[in-house]
Amino acid sequence: MTRRPGRALLVPAILLLLATLDWSYVGTEQFVNALTIGAVYALIALGYTMVYGIIELINFAHGDVFMVGSFVTYWLLSSLGFNGTISDLPLLVVVLVGTFLAAMVVMGGIGVVIERFAYRPLRNAPRLAPLITAIGVSFILQNIIQIFFGPSPISAPQVIDVQARVNLGGVDVSVVKLFVIAVAFILMIALQTFVSRTRMGRAMRSTAIDRDAAQLMGVDINTTIAVTFFIGSALAGAAGVVQVLYLGTTNFQLGFQAGLKAFTSAVLGGIGNITGAALGGFLIGFIEVNSTVAGFSRWSEAIVFGILVLVLVFRPTGLLGQQLGERA
């Protein structure tokens, strides 16, 4: 991958142009919606792409990790006695920070356990085996949630006032949505920095490129893969918190559709590519919102998956290119 500054700027420039045009088409409210939905898909897509990058597994249970994250959030908030908007700002900050931390740590831990017991024993098995296991894990997670919380959708406390709005340079924006978008961006920048700058980040990248060579450098593959699952699942956990804050509802089947769309995002951006997954997530958010605005809201899923098919046919490495298998 050569770095030509001209080309590096081209993609953001085109995206900025498209976004500006789209803004005038869909209007501010829907534009912010697209960013918010996109942020959720992006957060989930990162886990798909990281896990695929390192062990070439499409972790079909990942959408359900997001779903469980939303239930953990619901359980946490309601058992602490919160059942609606928190108007006391310092308290709200503490609750938000605590909820994100707790949900991310819990889901990260669950991700590590899943990898340890469901996928690691199959690491050298034919690739179909862990894939089928992933589907099994997905059902297990759904069933566990169903046992504890029942089959019907539940309404979860929205601690940030959904009516609250701020004026941002002349544009009137919902506070929750702004918060969600900001959280997603902060997490994505943190992830990018971690992966590109730290020793563990280098271990993850080298393991994704060439597992044997990484071992010869002293990298403990098991630890590195576990850390990858922890981070990916923690991000899905954060998306679960966002689900509760933004939509105030969840159900045990939530992970399936969200997972499929996030997976599509990851493929769209180029699976294995972290920037690509984030970009893909936002693109899917925009595609959905645009199809709604254009009056095809019932078709938005067909459009999303139609795009997945087109990408797989015409550009299987995704928009930003796959980053796999490029050992020298």
**328 touching another protein, by CB under 8 A:** yes
Smallest distance from another protein to CB 211, Å: 10
Kindly state whether residue 219 participates in binding another protein, applying the rule CB under 8 A. yes
Answer for which of 2, 124, 152, 163 binds another protein (CB under 8 A) is 2
The verdict on 218 binding another protein (CB under 8 A) reads yes
Kindly state the tokens that stand for 211: 């597992």
Binding residue (CB under 8 A) for another protein from 14, 217, 294, 312: 217
124 binds another protein (CB under 8 A): no
- Contact yes or no for 288/26 (Cβ under 8 A): no
CA–CA dist 160, 77 (Å, integer): 12
Contacts of 282 (CB under 8 A, 6+ apart): 34, 35, 38, 39, 41, 42
Q: Report if residue 212 touches another protein, rule: CB under 8 A.
A: yes
Does 4 contact another protein by CB under 8 A?
no
Would you count residue 206 as binding another protein (CB under 8 A)? yes
CA-CA distances (angstroms) from residue 210 to 2, 53, 196, 203, 230?
20, 11, 17, 10, 21
Q: Is 29 in the site for another protein (CB under 8 A)?
A: no
122 near another protein, rule: CB under 8 A: no
Torsion angle of alpha carbons 250, 276, 105, 112, nearest 10°?
Answer: 100
Per-residue burial over 71-83, b = 16 or more CB atoms within 10 Å of its CB, e = otherwise: bbbbbbbeeeebe
E-state strands within the chain: 154-155, 165-168, 171-174, 249-250
List the x/- string, 183-202, binding to another protein by CB under 8 A: ----------------x--x
Strand partners, 173: 166
Which region, judged by CB under 8 A, interacts with another protein, from 156-164, 172-180, 206-214, 236-244? 206-214
**Cβ proximity to another protein, 224 vs 250, nearer residue:** 224
Residues that bind another protein (CB under 8 A): 1-2, 199, 202-203, 205-206, 209-210, 212-221, 323, 326-328
